[in-house]
Amino acid sequence: MDKKVPSRKKDKMKGGKTPKQGPEIKTAQARNKRDPVEIIDQTNTGRDPALVPIRHSRMMVSPFTFYRGAAAIMANDLAMEQNSGITVQCCGDCHILNFGAFATPERNIIVDFNDFDETHPAPFEWDLKRLAGSLVIAANSVGMSARAGEDAVFELTRSYQREMAKHAKERLLDIWFSRTDFQSLLDSTTRREDRERSKKGLNKELVRSSPDVLHQKLTEKKDGSWRFKEILPLLYHVPDIEMKNVRKAFDLYLQSLSADRQSLLRHFEIADIARKVVGTGSVGTYCGVLLLVSGADDLLILQVKESRQSVFEPYLGASEFENHGQRVVIGQRIMQSASDMFLGWTSGHQGRQFYLRQLRDVKMSPNPAMWTKSTLLDIAKFAGKVLAKAHAKSGEAAAIAQYLGVGEKFAKSMSSYALSYAEQTSSDYRLFVEACRSKRLPTEASSVG
C-alpha cells in the first residue's frame, strides 16, 4: 500500500513493497494550510542579503520562474502526499529547464538532466511529479491550453513507463553504460522546423562555449595578469576574499578528483576569483568563478557553487555525506550518463561547502517561447525517456515497472495531479507577488510595480 514519507532517515537506495496495481496519486489536502511566502523566506537564510532581492525579482517574472525557484515549497507538499516507497537517487529539482544537452569529457553531445543542487534519495515519483508540473506551467506561460499541458504530462508519463519496463529487463551495467545522444533527440523530433532550430541552437552554443569566446567575454589582461572583468551586478570581485583561503579550498577540491585530473590541474595556477550570480534558485548563495592559467595564456574557468541542505532532507533525513558538495557530485554521477571531468567538491571559509565544475561546457535547455504543441509533446516524451534511465541506474527498475503497471491509469492520474499542482502554483505565485509588492519580501526597486 502507499505510505507517507517517514520523518526519520530512510535506508539509502532501499525500495519499499511494490503493490500489484498502479497507484492513486492523491492531491495533498493540507497545501492551503502552509504559507508559501514563509517557506521562500526561510530558504533565504544564509544567502547574501544583497542578492536576495535579485532572487525574488527573478521569481516574480511569471508563475514558471516562481516554480523554478520554489523547489522547497513543492518538497513540503510532496512530503504530505502518499508515495510509492520505492527510493531512487532523485534530481530534487526536476523541472523541464534542468533537462537539456551538454558535452561529455569526450566532446560528444548527449541529452540528460543537468542540475543536481537538490539531489537526494527519494521516492521516484517525486521527480516525475515536479517534472510533470513544470510542463503544464511552462505551457501555460506561453499561452498554451490546459489540455495541451495535460496531454504533455500523459506522454511524459507513458514514455517513462515504457522505458522503465524496458530497463527492468536489462542488465544494470548496460543501463549505466548507455547514453542518450543529441542525434536521438533530433530523430525523435516530429517537426522539421524544430529539428533545424535545435541544430542551429547547438551550433550557436558550440561557439558561445568555445574557450576563445568565453574568455573574451569574461576575462581581461591587466598589468600582465589575467583577471575577470567587472560586469555588474552579475559578475564582480569581492574585496575581502583572502587568496590563501581560496588556495586551501582549491587543494581540498583537488583531493576529491581522480589522480589523472589532479595531475592535469596541477599545471594551472589560480589567477583570479569573482562572484557570479546564476540561475533563480541559486541566487544569493555563494557562487563564483575561478580563473586558472597555465603556460602562455592557457585559460580554464571553473564554476564554484555553494551547496546547502537539499530541500528533501527535512522530510527524508540528512544526507549520508558530511559535505553537501559531495552529495551533489555523487548524486550527479549516479544519475547522469556522463559528468563534467572537473566535477568535485570542497569546503571553504566559515564552513561553507561547494562543488566545482567547468563553466558553460556546451549547455542547451528547452526554450518554451518557441514551443508548439507538437514541440511540447516531443520534449515531454524524450524527457520521460531520459528520466527513466536516470532513475533505473539506482537499481529499482523492476520494482518501479511493476508499480506502474502497463495500462494508462498512472499516466492519467499524473496528468490530473499536474493540472492541480499548476493551479496551486498560480495561487502561491499570487501570494508571493503580493508579499513582494507589500515589501514583506525585498525586491529590486525597478521590478516592483
Res. 26: pLDDT tops 70: no
Residue pair 121/316 in contact (Cβ under 8 Å)? The answer is: yes
Res. 14: pLDDT tops 70: no
- Whether 117 is covered by a domain: the verdict is yes
Res. 207: pLDDT tops 70: yes
Res. 329: pLDDT tops 90: yes
Range scoring the smallest mean pLDDT among 2-11, 105-114, 128-137, 354-363: 2-11
Res. 8: pLDDT tops 80: no
Do 349 and 389 fall into the same domain? Answer: no
Q: What is the 8-class DSSP label of residue 32?
A: G
- Whether 376 is covered by a domain: the verdict is yes
Range scoring the smallest mean pLDDT among 15-24, 197-206, 310-319, 395-404: 15-24
Spatial separation of the C-alpha atoms in residues 429 and 63, rounded to whole Å:
6
Task: Return the ∠ at Cα 184 (arms to 178 and 189), rounded to 5°.
Answer: 145
Do 341 and 398 fall into the same domain? Answer: no
Do 374 and 275 fall into the same domain? Answer: no
Res. 21: pLDDT tops 90: no
pLDDT at 227: 96
> Of 307, 326, 358, which residue sits at a domain end?
358
Spatial separation of the C-alpha atoms in residues 124 and 127, rounded to whole Å:
6
Please tell me the pTM assigned to this model: 0.89
Spatial separation of the C-alpha atoms in residues 382 and 377, rounded to whole Å:
9
Range of 60's domain?
31-207+368-447
Kindly state the average pLDDT of the residues 105-124. 91
- Whether 382 is covered by a domain: the verdict is yes
**Coil, strand, or helix at residue 358?**
strand
> Of 313, 334, 358, which residue sits at a domain end?
358
Do 180 and 214 fall into the same domain? Answer: no
Res. 17: pLDDT tops 60: no
Spatial separation of the C-alpha atoms in residues 168 and 389, rounded to whole Å:
10
CB atoms within 10 A of CB 301: 20
Residue pair 55/40 in contact (Cβ under 8 Å)? The answer is: no
pLDDT at 200: 86
> What is the chain's mean pLDDT, rounded?
89
Do 253 and 349 fall into the same domain? Answer: yes
- Whether 173 is covered by a domain: the verdict is yes
Do 166 and 288 fall into the same domain? Answer: no
**Which comes out higher in pLDDT, residue 108 or 38?**
38
Beta-sheet pairing, 298-307 with 344-347: unpaired
At residue 345 the predicted structure's pLDDT band, cuts being 50, 70 and 90, is very high
**CA 188 vs CA 36, 51, 181, 184, 264: distances in Å:** 38, 41, 11, 6, 38
The tally of domains found in the chain comes to 2
Residue percentage of the chain with pLDDT more than 90? 71
pLDDT at 293: 96
Q: What is the 8-class DSSP label of residue 390?
A: H
- 424-437 pLDDT, tens digit each: 999 999 999 999 99
Spatial separation of the C-alpha atoms in residues 60 and 432, rounded to whole Å:
8
Do 323 and 303 fall into the same domain? Answer: yes
- 213-249 pLDDT, tens digit each: 888 999 999 988 999 999 998 899 998 888 999 999 9
- 264-281 pLDDT, tens digit each: 999 999 999 999 988 778
- Whether 11 is covered by a domain: the verdict is no
At residue 31 the predicted structure's pLDDT band, cuts being 50, 70 and 90, is low
- Whether 12 is covered by a domain: the verdict is no
- 285-313 pLDDT, tens digit each: 989 999 999 987 899 999 999 999 999 99
Do 135 and 263 fall into the same domain? Answer: no
- 371-390 pLDDT, tens digit each: 999 999 999 999 999 999 99
Report, in angstroms and rounded to the nearest whole number, the Rg of the chain calculated over CA atoms: 22
Spatial separation of the C-alpha atoms in residues 181 and 178, rounded to whole Å:
10
DSSP 102-122: EE-TTS-EEEEE---TT-EEE
In the chain, DSSP finds a helix count (H) and a strand count (E) of 17, 12
Cell of 399: 520494482
At residue 28 the predicted structure's pLDDT band, cuts being 50, 70 and 90, is very low
Residue percentage of the chain with pLDDT more than 70? 91
Kindly state the average pLDDT of the residues 204-208. 77
Classify burial at 98, counting beta carbons within 10 Å of its beta carbon; exposed 0-12, middle 13-18, buried 19 or more. Answer: buried
- 66-107 pLDDT, tens digit each: 999 999 999 999 999 999 999 999 999 999 999 988 888 777
At residue 3 the predicted structure's pLDDT band, cuts being 50, 70 and 90, is very low
- Whether 1 is covered by a domain: the verdict is no
pLDDT at 444: 87
Give the E-state strand segments of 197-350 in sequence order: 219-222, 225-228, 235-236, 269-276, 288-294, 298-307, 344-347
Do 284 and 301 fall into the same domain? Answer: yes
> Of 331, 358, 385, which residue sits at a domain end?
358
Do 55 and 186 fall into the same domain? Answer: yes
Tell me the residue length of the chain: 449
Do 39 and 183 fall into the same domain? Answer: yes
- Whether 17 is covered by a domain: the verdict is no
Do 175 and 246 fall into the same domain? Answer: no
